[in-house]
């Protein structure tokens, strides 16, 4: 049999317990290298509703994992990605918004937190069936052999969520709920609480993207 000339992907390996050195150097006192991204995606000039996303990552015993890398990728408040593949006509992406955030669960509490704006709706595949507002999340840590992809949707977008083409492919309605961040209006602003369960009864939906 002739083999087509594709090169197989490099295998994934766990990020291990010391990922902070390379990916979150300020967490371990390595001051020589400015972080490439942080958990704060907004500046004074960023357009859109300020929100925070907060949560923890739980292992199979229900204990919070305190060494997890979490990266966030999202569209701006108008639903635009600052990337050449988002070639849609209309308003240009917000120049004051990179769309990318990176943090780690806290060594003591296990909490993670992003400060960002609520994304707009993004066109679905082939430009139809718009997706409900959502952020993409990617997790890596000791014990995770291949980085885990998931999404967070917004609890105050029930109508858009009900029409979302990605939520719709998840067979069990109870599992769709694992992808909903719950809106809380706190004294210091709007927070969406989003806990991630690596396994167990409330296992979060993870995607093979």
123 belongs to the binding site for another protein (CB under 8 A): yes
- Binder to another protein among 1, 7, 92, 187 (CB under 8 A)? 7
- Residue 186: strand pairing partners: 189
We find the least distance from the C-beta atom of residue 175 to another protein, in angstroms, to be: 8
**Closer CB to another protein, residue 1 or residue 34?**
34
Nearer to another protein, 48 or 82 (CB): 82
Out of 46, 47, 59, 155, point to the residue binding another protein (CB under 8 A).
59
What's the closest the beta carbon of residue 188 comes to another protein, in angstroms? Answer: 27
Nearest C-alpha neighbor of 60 from the set 152, 144, 137, 167: 144
Instruction: For residue 64, state whether it binds another protein (rule: CB under 8 A).
Output: no
Q: Please identify which residue in 42, 51, 53, 75 interacts with another protein, judged by CB under 8 A.
A: 75
Residues 26-55 that bind another protein (CB under 8 A): 28, 30, 32-34, 36-37
What is d(CA 166, CA 131) in angstroms, rounded to the nearest whole number? 7
Q: What does the alpha-carbon distance between residue 40 and residue 114 come to, in Å, rounded to a whole number?
A: 6
CB of 91 to another protein, least distance (A): 15
DSSP assignment letter at 130: P
Say whether residue 98 binds another protein (CB under 8 A). Answer: yes
Q: Are the C-beta atoms of residues 184 and 45 closer than 8 Å to each other? A: no
- Euclidean distance between CA atoms 163 and 168, whole angstroms: 7
- 48 vs 124 by CB, closer to another protein: 124
From CA 15, how far away is CA 141, in angstroms rounded?
5
Check residue 23 for interaction with another protein (CB under 8 A).
yes
Interaction between residue 73 and another protein (CB under 8 A)? yes
Q: Is residue 94 within 8 Å of 80, Cβ to Cβ?
A: yes
How many CA within 13 A on the CB side of residue 154?
22
Is residue 8 a contact residue for another protein (CB under 8 A)? yes
């Amino acid at each position: 049999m002739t083999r087509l000339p594709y090169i197989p992907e490099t295998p994934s390996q766990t990020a291990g317990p010391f990922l902070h050195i390379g990916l979150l150097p300020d967490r371990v006192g390595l001051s020589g290298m400015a972080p490439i991204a942080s958990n704060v995606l907004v500046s004074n000039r960023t357009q859109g509703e300020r929100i925070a996303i907060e949560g923890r990552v739980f292992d199979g015993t229900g204990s919070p994992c305190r060494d997890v890398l979490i990266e966030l990728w999202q569209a701006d408040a108008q639903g635009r990605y600052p990337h050449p593949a988002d070639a849609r006509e209309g308003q240009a992406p917000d120049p004051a918004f990179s769309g990318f955030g990176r943090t780690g669960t806290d060594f003591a509490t296990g909490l993670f937190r992003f400060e960002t704006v609520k994304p707009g709706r993004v066109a679905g595949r082939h430009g139809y069936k718009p997706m409900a507002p959502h952020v993409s999340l990617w997790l890596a840590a000791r014990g995770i052999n291949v980085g885990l992809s998931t999404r967070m949707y917004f609890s105050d977008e029930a109508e858009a969520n009900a029409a979302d083409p990605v939520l719709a492919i998840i067979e069990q309605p109870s599992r769709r709920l694992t992808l909903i961040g719950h809106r809380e209006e706190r004294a210091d602003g709007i927070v969406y609480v989003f806990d991630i369960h690596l396994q167990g009864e409330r296992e979060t939906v993870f995607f093979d993207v």
